[in-house]
Structure 1
Amino acid sequence: MKKIRSKFLTAVVLIIGIAVMFPVTNAFASTSGSTPVNVAHRGASGQAPENTLAAFDKAIEFNADYFELDVQMTKDGKLILMHDTTVDRTTDGTGAIKDLTFEEIRRLDAGSWFDQSFAGETVPTLGEALDRYKGKIGILIELKNPELYPGIEQKVADELLKRNMGTTDNSDIIVQSFNWESIKQFHEILPSVSTGVLISNAQTIEGKITNEQLTSFQTYADYANPNKGLLDQDTVDRIHQHKLKTWPYTVTDREWAVRLTEWGVDGIITDYPILINMPASATTIKTLVERFEGKELSSTEAHSLKVHLTAVSQYEEKGLHEKVIKHMNGFNTLLNQQKENGLISDRAFNVLLDEATFLIGKW
């Protein structure tokens, strides 16, 4: 019996020792102990053309909890998904959405601007997105520039009701807008659907979200979703004190993701869902490299980066501090050489450099 007890105590000491040497790290262990809802901004728009089915598919592939989309209305009253008021930036066409028919917009290429591998991607309708993803992932619907499209609130409500998505059982649908009057109107039409107010710097009082504003939001919204730069611990706490949730936008780097989580935000709207559901590590950076590979850097360049990261992963497991930093500095040097030689896109370079710099700082 004494031998068994002795072996048990030895095992416990060994386990505790391992835990001290190699602590489990969770980049998103907030002060409240909760993990933020992971919201893919315009789909996984860091790695697929925004507001397309390809981007929404990536959001599911990358394990986001929700994806966000932007709804606007064509000349002939069709609800289509696009961020800008014109088609110029994200398609091969030109002109204002409100001046073009659905068929004119449907013929446009909405993928090539991002990468040629997405050539032929079309502009989807709201109905197509709802049909394709209903029950598979949460959908955050933004009414974009609703002041340009009289009646858009009713049209969006009709699309939801047509699919039985306007009931209290459908908490995976949220409708938001920077136009607070539009959200008030939508709430009156379909009060069973959760709503949110988006908040820009220009909508604050001297750079602050006031208690008066929050009290007003309470009457018709469930979420106060500001630009991330408007938040601090006090503001997050005040939002919660007003019985509202907050999903700030738009996070593209690890430092902001960690900061917001420590403040206790309820969700994070991000171009890169991986920043929310995977901790900072060489394995995470390697996954990002693989997602950029073949589109924003060649397989040869990706392989060179992954060689460094494979070594770093082994050193991380062994807790070899100096070797991790040495090889990550080598990774950054190689990354900068690829950038100087035009072998990697600006987007991929910035994301990988931010993540690598964060990892070095962590160690």
Structure 2
Amino acid sequence: MRPILARSLLCSAIAAGLAACASVPSQYGAFPTLNGQLPLVVAHRGASGYLPEETLEAYSRAIELGADVIEMDIVVTKDGQLITRHDPNLAISTDVAQHPEFAARKKTTQVDGETQTGWFSEDFTLAEIQTLGAISTDAERPQQFNGKFRIPTFQQVIDLAKAKSTETGRTIAIYPETKNPSYFAALGLPMEDKVIAHIRAAGWDSKTAPIYVQSFEPGSLQYMKNKGLQTRLVQLIDGDSVDLATGKVTFKLPSDRPYDWTLVGDKRNFDAMVTPAGLAQIKTYADGIGPWKRFIISIKGTMGADGKPVDVNGDGKINDADASSMAPTSLVADAHKAGLFVHPFTFRNESRRLASDYQKDGKNEYTAFYKAGVDGVFTDFTDTALAARNALVK
């Protein structure tokens, strides 16, 4: 048996070793990645398809499932502590509404131009936030764990990744995002210097360290680069929805453009970033891009005589399940040509989120993106992403 074939069979046979195999050169032809390596499986907010997101329990579960990387969003508390929450608005992912002692802190404010009502991290100390329980943000997902797990600090997640790397014998990387950095800076709670301090204290300030730092705001990444941060930096690229008549990505607040662009009057949308010129600009301060997956493989619906999308599956709703996937765009090839890796978001198993030609099987969607050459995927379901990667390795 040839050594390459033996190596691929080993990777496919041993689930626990899949993440370690991510650094094996991809010489099988199925993974046209930037540097010939297997695409990374990035556990988006942990095993968030199974447990309340961005908790130590969700991250631990993702690592048990075989994730190469665990991903988290960073927001700031009243006392300047970094915690892992996807939103400053704690009403979205915690049980804060069930805590009468905090009822008076409910407010309406604007986050990156979007009016929101709820309870916000900047109005709570770390000690107060750690009395809250995390909850599932998707009604289709398990609800029995709501309120049982606490909200961790960024440092606790760093410590977990290091401990699990030692325990498992494979390197678990982390993927923090500076979330709403302009919002927090305007409140007098800038986060970038604190993020840098945590990274340097962990001994991870290098291109080869097990960490990727991401943001939707170019200014946040540029600031950290100018402060000497040496880690791999990733520019996130968002979109609001898809025009099912054409398959084109559409844009609407707050997913229209980086908020730091809005603050300086730059009217371009995120699609300016996916042009060759936009990618060349990103390359001056970042190492990769994290685009919404519809910039790579979009979907197109069936349009009725009235010009509106048809509810093909007859469930009374118009969603991805009523559309079919389109041919890949040139974005992956263009990014690779610019020297940027590509980690699209977010892959999920629910049938309403899968184009009809994927036949309600998330593995089919991953396979299409792997074959398109992506260098990693952000997933709520680590095991499904690994199963698809494993099948291609074989």
| Structure with the bigger percentage of strand | 2
Counterpart of 1:142? 177
Residue 166 of structure 1 aligns to which amino acid in structure 2? D
Q: Which residue of 1 aligns with 2:62?
A: 59
Inter-partner Cα distance in structure 2 for 1:158 and 1:205? 30
> Contact between 1:44 and 1:272, CA under 8 Å: does it hold in 2?
yes
Q: 1:79 to 1:208 in 2, by over 3 A?
A: closer
Q: Aligned letter for 1:103?
A: A
Distance 2:388 2:345 in 1: 20
Kept in 1, the 8 Å contact 2:66–2:382? The answer is yes
Show structure 1 runs of 5+ residues with no match.
1-27, 285-363
Paired letter, 2:371: E
User: What residue number does 2:230 align with?
Assistant: 192
**Counterpart-to-counterpart distance in 2, 1:272 and 1:45:** 7
**Are 1:115 and 2:132 an aligned pair?**
no
CA distance in 2, matches of 1:134, 1:168: 17
CA contact (8 A) 2:213 2:231 kept: yes
Structure 1 residue 265 corresponds to structure 2 residue 304: no
Cα deviation for residue 108 of structure 1 reads 0.5
CA distance in 1, matches of 2:291, 2:215: 11
Q: Give the number of the structure whose alpha-carbon radius of gyration is greater.
A: 1
**Structure 2: runs of 5 or more not aligned:** 1-28, 98-118, 166-171, 240-255, 258-268, 297-327, 349-361
Aligned to 1:36: 39
Contact 2:43 2:70 in 1 (8 A): yes
Task: Using the TM superposition, give the Cα deviation of residue 93 of structure 1 relative to its aligned residue in structure 2, in angstroms.
Answer: 0.4
Q: CA RMSD in A?
A: 2.5
Aligned residues: 256
Kindly report which structure 2 residues correspond to 1:16-165, keeping only aligned pairs within 5 A, or say none: 29-30=30-31, 35-94=38-97, 95-111=119-135, 115-117=143-145, 119-134=147-162, 136=165, 137-150=172-185, 151-165=190-204
Residue 284 of structure 2 aligns with which residue? 219
The match for 2:315 is: none
- State the identity %: 32
Contact kept? 2:237, 2:273, Cα under 8 Å: no
Residue pair 1:111, 1:122 contacting (<8 A) in 2 also: no
Shift of residue 30, structure 1, vs aligned partner: 3.3
CA distance in 2, matches of 1:280, 1:238: 23
Aligned-pair CA distance for 1:88 = 0.7
Distance 1:31 1:182, change over 3 A: closer
- CA–CA separation in structure 1 for the residues paired with 2:382 and 2:42: 7
1:181 pairs, out of 212, 219, 222, with 219
The Cα shift of 1:279 comes to 3.8
Contact 2:367 2:388 in 1 (8 A): no
Mapped contact 1:112–1:119 kept (Cα < 8 A): no
Offset of 1:48 from its aligned partner? 1.1
Matches within 5 A, 1:195-206: 195-201=233-239, 202-203=256-257, 204=269
Structure 2 CA distance for partners of 1:211 and 1:84, relative to 1, 3 Å = same
Q: Separation in 1 of the partners of 2:120 and 2:379?
A: 27
What TM-score results when the alignment is normalised by the length of structure 1?
Answer: 0.65
Q: Structure 1's 261 and 146: CA in aligned 2 closer, same or farther, altered over 3 A?
A: same
Secondary structure of 2:73's counterpart equals strand
Contact 1:29 1:35 in 2 (8 A): no
Q: Which has the higher helix share?
A: 1
| 3-state secondary structure, aligned to 1:56 | helix
Equivalent position of 2:340 in the other structure: 244
Moved >6 Å (runs of 4+): none
**Structure-2-length-normalised TM-score:** 0.60
